[in-house]
Chains A and B, each alone.
Chain A
């Protein structure tokens, strides 16, 4: 892994941020900052990267 690639912890933290934003948006009915193709693409890329590293992104 190159030095510029995010760590697994960073990927999980960013995934959690996106999930938290979506939860707040749903809870309060505010503009969903994750409701974009860009955010969904980032989310899917994070999951793909985690899986490639042998990390289950869904592990609860």
Chain B
């Protein structure tokens, strides 16, 4: 979509429309009446501003994009009713609209008007205003300091391969200015608080948001590496860091399939008030990169996640097959950064709150978007910590589909009948950029070496246990380590739980070496 001048009446109206649609999408209490009322107000404002002819027609089309539910039956909606009450948003819409269209928030309004894929009918876990409330300068400074203490305790490898901390690595990253450091820290501190607020708003499953926070920290580390691999400028590096930080900032089981859209909304919401303000172009780059990050692993997202969600909604099998196939191949079937779907496919996707499926496109933001996808893939599938997370999900007490005979199946199996960390690595590799592929493959080599060390350490751990605590498995082996686990034997299963816990602990420790 072409850029819109922020000084024309149409641009101001569009900015207000985007802000209202975002505010209502992010407000748990917003109803269809609120959305209808918002459209009424905007139509009145267009009339009061003297919009006519093609300008009015264009604005009307924009409203249809932003509020598709209001226009779902065009014969029923013919404009605002006479005497209808204006502004029924409990103040939320007006406040956000003002924030997006005045002062430092002009950039947010402009970017909102440029992007046509920033909406979802899926609700976020809590309204953006609840997740990311503005803070005074004293509270912001305290949050920044607390974050610095947190990041100073995260061991990482520096750009030179030497041991470092995440804070040190960020502050030493080539080219980033003190202003950029401060803005990044302030934004990441806001996101960290957002995870706490999301946990409070949606406490189940317990600990979900803390896992998100730990993932965000690790991804921050990887995106610094990837930025160097891509040769990003300091400005683009900052954009990649911000996009990476926001990419999972509004993620819960309830909005998994649309969390990229909510993350992009959060970026506009928070960054529009950042000081000093980002330019509209940089804010657009960040927002686009967030929208595009959810493509990986593509097989998982298409053939597993989207297929499962659509099937659960009772969608037509052929339509589901086609959608899943397109999402599983994000570099095909695309036009201008989004998968091209048929009308039937769009209708099916609308039932699960997905109006568009953004994919890596071309343009100014391309390297930034790819850097975010690369960093996410590195954290999840090409490091010991990512594999530890997957190891914990297999074995005893897990669904029958994940009850493999041996621990190593969950990690390294390439057999077609299993799910494993290694197979997820291969899947995600399809969306890793050429620039980052060496890092990704090095990550696999490092992780496989870590797994080998962990298996040796587990053998030592078993030997050190009292013999009475180690059941004898088939062929005299150790259940779940060297002999198939008998899931109907309570003693073996109990032992396998301990063995898995130790494996997860050792793999996480490998992340620090």
A55 → chain B, closest Cβ, in Å?
9
Across chains A and B, the number of contacting residue pairs, with CB separation under 8 Å, is: 105
**A12 adjacent to B253 (CB under 8 Å):** no
Given contacts A26-B393, A26-B399, A29-B253, contact A16 B405 (CB under 8 A): no
B125 → chain A, closest Cβ, in Å?
12
B318 in contact (CB, < 8 A): no
**A24 adjacent to B300 (CB under 8 Å):** yes
- 1/0 per residue B183-196: CB within 8 Å of A? 00000000000000
> A residues within 8 A CB of B484?
58
- 1/0 per residue B140-175: CB within 8 Å of A? 000000000000000000000000000000000000
**B393 adjacent to A23 (CB under 8 Å):** yes
Given contacts A29-B208, A31-B312, contact A20 B406 (CB under 8 A): no
Chain B binding surface SS class: helix
Given contacts A33-B311, A35-B399, contact A19 B205 (CB under 8 A): no
**B305 adjacent to A24 (CB under 8 Å):** yes
**A18 adjacent to B253 (CB under 8 Å):** no
> B residues within 8 A CB of A26?
393, 398-399, 402
Q: Which of A9, A27, A30 contacts B416 (CB under 8 A)?
A: A9
Q: Which of B393, B394, B404 contacts A58 (CB under 8 A)?
A: B404
User: When chains A and B are docked, how far (Å) is the Cα of A57 from the Cα of B403?
Assistant: 12
B2 in contact (CB, < 8 A): no
> B residues within 8 A CB of A12?
415-417
**B404 adjacent to A60 (CB under 8 Å):** yes
> B residues within 8 A CB of A58?
404-405, 409, 417, 484
> A residues within 8 A CB of B300?
20, 24
**A27 adjacent to B389 (CB under 8 Å):** yes
Closest residue on chain B to residue A18 by CB atoms:
B401
Most buried by A among B205, B256, B400, B417: B417
User: When chains A and B are docked, how far (Å) is the Cα of A2 from the Cα of B433?
Assistant: 45
Q: Which of A21, A28, A32, A60 contacts B409 (CB under 8 A)?
A: A60
Chain A binding surface SS class: helix
**B400 adjacent to A43 (CB under 8 Å):** yes
Most buried by A among B257, B299, B300: B300
- 1/0 per residue B209-243: CB within 8 Å of A? 00000000000000000000000000000000000
Given contacts A20-B304, A43-B400, contact A31 B309 (CB under 8 A): yes
> B residues within 8 A CB of A43?
400-401
Given contacts A23-B402, A27-B393, A29-B208, contact A16 B304 (CB under 8 A): no
**B416 adjacent to A29 (CB under 8 Å):** no
Given contacts A29-B208, A30-B253, A40-B400, contact A16 B408 (CB under 8 A): no
- B-contacting residues, A1-25, CB 8 Å: 9, 11-13, 15-25
**A60 adjacent to B402 (CB under 8 Å):** no
User: When chains A and B are docked, how far (Å) is the Cα of A17 from the Cα of B252?
Assistant: 23
A12 → chain B, closest Cβ, in Å?
4
- 1/0 per residue A23-60: CB within 8 Å of B? 11111111111110000100110000010000001111
**A19 adjacent to B401 (CB under 8 Å):** yes
- A-contacting residues, B278-336, CB 8 Å: 299-300, 303-305, 307-309, 311-312
User: When chains A and B are docked, how far (Å) is the Cα of A19 from the Cα of B252?
Assistant: 22
B56 in contact (CB, < 8 A): no
Instruction: Please list 5 pairs of residues, one from A and one from B, whose beta carbons are closer than 8 Å in the complex, sorted by A's number.
Output: A19-B417, A20-B303, A26-B398, A29-B205, A30-B256
Closest 8 CB pairs of A and B: A33-B308, A19-B419, A22-B401, A60-B409, A15-B417, A29-B253, A23-B419, A60-B413
User: Besides A11-B417, A26-B399, A58-B409, 18 other CB < 8 A contacts?
Assistant: A12-B415, A13-B416, A15-B416, A15-B418, A16-B416, A19-B401, A20-B299, A20-B423, A29-B208, A30-B253, A30-B256, A32-B399, A33-B312, A34-B399, A34-B401, A43-B401, A60-B404, A60-B412
| B interface residues (Cβ-Cβ under 8 A, vs A) | 205, 208, 252-253, 256-257, 299-300, 303-305, 307-309, 311-312, 389-390, 393-394, 398-402, 404-406, 408-409, 412-413, 415-419, 423-424, 484
